[in-house]
Amino acid sequence: MTEAMDAEFDTVAEWTAQVALELGPEYHIPAGCRGSGSPAALDWLIEHLELTPGDTLLDSGAGVGGPAAYAAQAVSLHPVLAEPEAGACRAARTLFGFPVVQAVGSALPLADASVDAAWSLGVLCTTPDQLDLLTELRRTVRPPGRIGLLAFVAREPLRGREPEGNHFPTGDRLTELIADAGLQIQKRRNTADLPSPPSDWTDRVDAVTDTLADRHGASRAWQLAERQSSRIGDLLDEGAVTGEMLVLRHA
């Protein structure tokens, strides 16, 4: 991980959990989803992965666990979180109390076919080990292999314009990686086609962000993390990168 990624995914993740705890329970899930998940994207994945009560859902690169908590609240399933950053693992345990293993997505300490479903949201572009991350999802999810991805995809190769440590695959490269991992695409949707989050959700996210900025705005970690997310925001705004949600199955 680069210093900027550690700032965003470790230091700021832990600060985010502290702020959410102070603001109250209705802030926990929106705060925990600041990493990438919006309610409409999560609803789409929950529906098309056919997640049902009692399912075990692996979240690979879970961050502070907001998306898994959203799914648990929506369909009473059992999340298992894997996340490499120690601060994010602590934050997820504190906020949501789910089982969390500290691990990269390319080497999951889980047995073959040990979970009913898995997703990995906003994670693929943060690692060069993209094929191994997908292969591990295939290995750990039992057939038929209900796997969800939220992936940021480059329209053209970005040739060094990525924020530090990011590796956005093109659409063709993503299709190739999925096939090479022994998976097939069942459904695909662009996040730009989804409705915006409701105002009570964005109000809570904004309250968390404002509190974090008041408290930590002068710190190097906050500034690095903000620079990373605003660079990705700029690439999305100019259409150089798009958000793609995919539902995959074993090929």
Ligand X SMILES: C[S@@+](CC[C@H](N)C(=O)[O-])C[C@H]1O[C@@H](n2cnc3c(N)ncnc32)[C@H](O)[C@@H]1O
Give me the amino acid identity at 191.
T
11 touching ligand X, by CB under 6 A: no
Task: Pick from 11, 16, 38, 127 the residue near ligand X by CB under 6 A.
Answer: 127
Cβ closest to ligand X, residue 85 vs residue 144: 85
Minimum CB separation from ligand X for residue 63, in Å?
Answer: 3
128 Ramachandran zone, left/alpha/beta (phi>0; psi -120 to 50): alpha
Q: Please say whether the beta carbons of 9 and 168 come within 8 A.
A: no
- Among 58, 121, 225, 246, contact with ligand X (rule: CB under 6 A): 121
Residues 55-94 that bind ligand X (CB under 6 A): 60-63, 66-67, 83-85, 88
Tell me the DSSP string of 27-45: GHHHHHTTTS--HHHHHHH
Among 37, 87, 163, 197, binds ligand X (CB under 6 A): 37
Length of the chain in terms of residues written:
251
CA dist 59 and 37 (Å) reads 12
Q: Is 197 in the site for ligand X (CB under 6 A)?
A: no
Question: CA 79 from chain center: how many Å?
Answer: 14
- Least Å distance, CB 241 to ligand X, is 13
Binding site for ligand X (CB under 6 A): 9, 33, 35-37, 60-63, 66-67, 83-85, 88, 104-106, 121-123, 126-127, 129
